[in-house]
Structure 1
Amino acid sequence: MSHNQRIVSGMRPTGPLHLGHYFGVIANWIKLQEAYDCFFFVADWHALTSEYADPTRIKGFVPGLVKDWVAAGLDPDKCAIFQQSQIKEHAELFLYLSMYTPLGWLERCPTFKEMNAELTQKDLNTHGFLGYPVLMAADILMYKPKAVPVGKDQLPHLELAREIARRFNHLTSSEFFPEPADMLTEECKLNGLDGRKMSKSYGNSIKLSEPLDEIIPKIKGMKTDESRLRKSDPGDPAVCNLYPYHKLITDPARLPEIQEGCKNATWGCVDCKKVLIESLERFLTPLHERRAACTDERVAEILAAGNKKAREYAAATMADLRALVNF
């Protein structure tokens, strides 16, 4: 397949994936693997940008991330699943692109300022954190993809990758790096169980690998429409934290019944939660079965095959680049 049919994307191994990850990222990847030559990578070097002081857990999170991907529906026969740190050419391209990237481009990157302000418990004033958009550019440009699936929050990074590609091409009088398009991922409107953003750090998520008997108490305690103090109080699904879960997971044929029961107060929130628990069981059971079948040995096989494919592309890219810059 030519590069104009290639897709590249990755995720940091920082812990188990939850429903927000599935509907915000993975569901789209599953569709893309059917139509494109997809490269999905475990971004363990990127995890170092914020976890450098205690990197011991990163390696342990790698197999779990691959298992979550396979459980969710990524098929290693249809896409390359590889580990960033095992393709040393990424570090080499990062070095080359760093030489071509003006410092001001990185300092004005909005994510650098935002994360520095938010993660006050960590010292992010490092060269690695400032420069990680260049590493991201290397991850992408290495495979000369047609497009990169991103959320709106990642658009500045992708635009920076395109700017770096343009500058490199201009200074080398070449068209070495095609500029990848953005393939905007539909925003996942799924808050955490408490109404805040779903996050591992908040403890308000439903993990893809979580047993149902641990999920049920979470659903029972889930925040709903605050105006419904009693079952007889009519509610509004549009402001209920639970209803977006139904829209994503419950059989669409049941949604009118759920809406009517809430608005007319013929259903209580307990009834609504019972249906959601049933829906989650139907949704998660096959994921749990696929995850159980994906052993550590199988993960090693998947990464070995994906690393081999990625390394072949990366080695060819770097051989051509070295020749271009006369190294």
Structure 2
Amino acid sequence: MIATVTPNPSVDKTVFVDELVPGKLHRVRLVRRDPSGKGINVSRALKCLGVDSMAFGFLAGARGKYIEESVKALGISPCFTWVTGETRTNTKVVEDKTGRMTEINEPGPLVSADDIEALKEAILTAAAEKGFEFAVLSGSRPPGVPDDFYADLVAMLNKRGVKPVLDCDGTALNLGLEAKPFMVKPNRFEIETLFGRSLPSIGEIVGAAISLLERGLSVVVVSLEAEGAIFVREGEVYWARARPVEPKSTAGCGDTLVASTLLGLQRGWPWEYTSRFAVAAATVAATKEGTQFPSYDEALDALQLVKLKSLP
């Protein structure tokens, strides 16, 4: 069993237009609505890959009810903490001509200190009762949730033998790393921000990732969008890249990368195969409209698209 924690869920509204031109009227070709937020996306991706999970986070209002019902219908265990207000909507505009996506994300409802404690208690109770191996802590934080929220959760989960997986940015990432999560998945911009400098070469990115291992982490995965991803654990470093595909939406690709990496770790796959499979799965996700995820068989079929390079 795997747990996911999404402090700031959303209803993703994805609209498809021919080309986005600021200040002009646009005719929408297609509209999709999906339950989302990074942790929820990981749960959805895991389910598509055949892995059960429990989804935690804050929900509010009618949109929150939609997310809870949608998650439950997918076969994911909803374990949300309810707060006042309304869950946010994130609008994503995808251009058919280029595949470019423009995102407009709302802030989310105000969360109180009591709400935060209730969520932490729910997670710890479930950890004791269900014994999940990994807990994915992922995404932005709504108003009222402090920068050290993830760091506190990482420390609490470490004490209970659960492996925390961190996917966030900014101060929350810095503080979370101090608590020593099992795994972290920054993108290129996030790892450059973390180290305060540009990392133009693959070698420099690998060096930064290895330095995170030296700080007590076990796994570092750096997503590089069209350039694939770097997979680092002690003694093993791989760069996995897929042949170009025509993207329809990149929403959820990074979350697919997290989910498929955890699948490989859970099943004890060789790190080389896990790296290839994860990039294959993320590549398939990019070919789907809206926030959708690949099946296990679809990821297997896409393995042929992925090239792998072992790095020193």
TM-score of the pair, normalised by structure 1: 0.30
Based on CA coordinates, which of the two structures has the bigger radius of gyration? 1
Structure with more helix by fraction: 1
TM-score of the pair, normalised by structure 2: 0.31
